[in-house]
Structure 1
Amino acid sequence: MSEVAERRNYDLRDEIKAYWSERAATFDLSPGHEIFSEDERAAWHRLFLRHLGEGAGRAALDLASGTGVVSHLLDDLGFKVTGLDWAEPMLDRARKKARDRRRKISFRIGDAENTMESDDRYDVIVNRHLVWTLVDPAAAFAEWLRVLKPGGRLLIVDGDFVNTSALERFFSKLSTWGQRAGIFKADTPSGSREMMETHRSILSRVHFSQGARAEAVAELLETVGFIGVEIDTDLSDIHRTQAKNWNIFKGLARKSQHRYAICATKPSAAA
């Protein structure tokens, strides 16, 4: 039995930590997690440059950094990067990846909802696919506001993984049919049946159990004090490069999802 399945007496946050610890072993095998082409890497660079600008040695915090995919993208652009994650197996892989690539990225264990970082420390905070897992997003957003320097920027990349459109369901069914018929290559497994059930169970109990819609996330950011909140739903550049790793219908299903980037700014000291 998996480590996650044995820990049903844990609270929700402990279950989330155990789940991602167990997912670490196969995390980088899945398109959409690791970067699988230079075209995709360049697409991510363009998104970050659009909202954050060049790194130029500025301090960046990658929250829920996992195996370090986003940390490396930020490092590519010249940021001085710290990756924070609370799953040791993820950190082990992130540190090895940084050593292998000879990158000077600091990876530390920590909680994205309670970072224990000092006030006004980072120029930039970035996270990908973290917000949907938050138990108390308002408290987390207030924490990120505290850690950012005045005028610092937050970039969230996330999506609604609960509500599916009719178009997405149609393309997903065609993709599944094609894989079963042997027409398409099977998707990379994302975990055992137990792990999939654990994922569904966690998703049903987090704050955004009804789906992390961009507008709801943006509203919470404004409530805790962020300004200049901007929703960017044009991730087609990234999705197009990722789609090369899937069959045509899987790629179209992905494109049909409600995925977005949200950029927000901490008010300057004078504001």
Structure 2
Amino acid sequence: MTHSGTHPGTAAFWDAAAGTFDEEADHGLRDPRVRAAWAARLAAWLPPGDGRLDTLDLGCGTGSLSLLLAEAGHRVTGVDLAPRMVERARAKLAGTGAVVTVGDAAAPPVGERRFDVVLSRHLVWALPRPEEALARWAGLLRSGGRLVLVEGRWSNVPRREGTPWDGGVTATELVAALRRLPVPLTDLQVDPLTDPLLWGKEITDERYAVTATRAPT
């Protein structure tokens, strides 16, 4: 959710937004109908099976998607660049066993750990070197693990210099980038997210999720 990167003002910007971040319907998931809609989508994106999954939520913001994962019985690690966002996520996830860390989601501080799921929402488009980050994330997956990227192209906003995908990234662009990664990914799928219930309002821009599986080795 909150944007990671190397710009020195990024953490401060999202720290300032932390107090009101959850007021957006798709951020706080306070409406039970919105919450249920995201829970259903998230369950559909995870790898098949009934076991507990090791999940990594990058740019986790205040931890709303992390909480859905924890409530579904999965082991959750969250990473966000903004300390105030992390404070709120830790409070939201208290008692679940989830671990939330301050760090750069583009280069997650997880050492040699590997995960069944690497998730990010509204993060990739804001990174200064998104393909490098995607390669790192794919490398954090176990064989058969699932990469889940919730992204969009924001109302065809003109792009500015600074990040390759400023203003958002189309599904076509993101899938092409994933196919270029040195880590082999299979079963790339695009799930359009046009249901207003997910956002608490009607939308006119392109919103979607891309899922990809790390090829068995």
TM-score bin, normalised by smaller chain = 0.7 to 0.9
8 Å CA contact 2:25–2:31 kept in 1: the answer is no
Matched position secondary structure for 2:149: strand
Q: Percent identity over the alignment?
A: 31
Matched, 1:35 2:14: no
1:266 pairs, out of 174, 197, 214, with 214
Matched, 1:62 2:57: yes
What amino acid sits opposite 2:16 in the alignment? E
Superposition pairs for residues 1-271 of structure 1, below 5 Å?
13-52=7-46, 53=48, 56-99=51-94, 102-119=95-112, 121-163=114-156, 205-209=162-166, 211-224=168-181, 225=183, 226-236=185-195, 239-240=196-197, 242-243=199-200, 251-252=201-202, 254=203, 256-269=204-217
Which whole-Å CA distance do the structure 2 matches of 1:15 and 1:204 have between them? 17
The 3 A distance-change label for structure 1 pair 66 and 211 is closer
RMSD: 2.2
TM-score (norm 1): 0.71
What amino acid sits opposite 1:14 in the alignment? P
Return the structure number with greater helix share. 1
Which whole-Å CA distance do the structure 2 matches of 1:118 and 1:265 have between them? 21
Which whole-Å CA distance do the structure 2 matches of 1:23 and 1:119 have between them? 32
Shift of 1:241: 5.4
Matched position secondary structure for 1:92: helix
Matched position secondary structure for 1:209: coil
Pick the structure with greater CA Rg. 1
Which whole-Å CA distance do the structure 2 matches of 1:16 and 1:68 have between them? 18
Shift of 1:55: 6.4
Matched position secondary structure for 2:27: coil
Shift of 1:36: 2.0
Q: Which moved more, 1:215-224 or 1:203-212?
A: 203-212
Runs (4+) off by over 6 Å: none
| Stretches of structure 1 lacking an aligned partner (at least 5 in a row) | 1-10, 165-199, 244-250
Shift of 1:205: 2.5
Which whole-Å CA distance do the structure 2 matches of 1:135 and 1:258 have between them? 21
Which whole-Å CA distance do the structure 2 matches of 1:115 and 1:28 have between them? 24
8 Å CA contact 1:120–1:148 kept in 2: the answer is no
TM-score (norm 2): 0.88
The 3 A distance-change label for structure 1 pair 241 and 137 is closer
| Stretches of structure 2 lacking an aligned partner (at least 5 in a row) | none
Equivalent residues, number:
210
